């Protein structure tokens, strides 16, 4: 079953603009992860934020986590055509080696 929802389901922006995607989840978590999936490929891990963290950066990525609202956001700054992909948030109940529960994803299209 799906842990929660990402919104928007689809997002189309111009190259160079920033893209923001949101994720909500239902259960308590140990950490939350974001993954990217290019068409026809597997998922690639982008960033992990722990439940005691509020914000984390990695290159052009910025993730926030609000455990009181059970929500997270992923910001991609200065978007590039290569960022075109689907983005998923994922959680695991125990946070360790458990199977992940994914949201439905946001399909991001970067217009050149």
Least Å from the CB of residue 19 to another protein: 20
Q: Provide CB contacts within 8 A for 93, sequence distance 6+.
A: 27, 28, 29, 30, 101
Smallest separation (angstroms) from another protein to the CB of 17: 27
Please identify, using beta-carbon distances, which residue of 17 and 98 lies nearer to another protein: 98
Nearest CA to 72 among 59, 91, 85? 91
Sign of CA dihedral 32, 26, 40, 79: negative
Compute the least distance from the CB of residue 93 to another protein, in Å: 11
Q: Which residues bind another protein (CB under 8 A)?
A: 1-2, 33, 35, 40-45, 48, 88, 96-105
Which pair of tokens denotes residue 97? Answer: 């080696």
Based on CB atoms, which residue is closest to another protein, 48 or 75?
Answer: 48
User: 79 vs 107, which CB is nearer to another protein?
Assistant: 107
């Amino acid at each position: 079953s799906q842990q929660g929802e990402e919104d928007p389901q689809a997002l189309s922006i111009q190259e160079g603009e920033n893209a923001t995607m949101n994720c909500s989840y239902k259960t308590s978590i140990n950490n939350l992860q974001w993954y990217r999936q290019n068409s026809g490929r597997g998922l690639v891990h982008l960033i992990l934020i722990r439940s005691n963290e509020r914000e984390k950066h990695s290159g052009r990525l910025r993730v926030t986590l609000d455990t009181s609202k059970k929500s997270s956001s992923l910001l991609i700054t200065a978007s590039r055509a290569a960022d075109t992909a689907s983005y998923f948030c994922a959680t695991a109940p125990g946070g360790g080696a458990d199977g992940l529960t994914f949201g439905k994803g946001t399909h991001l299209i970067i217009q050149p």
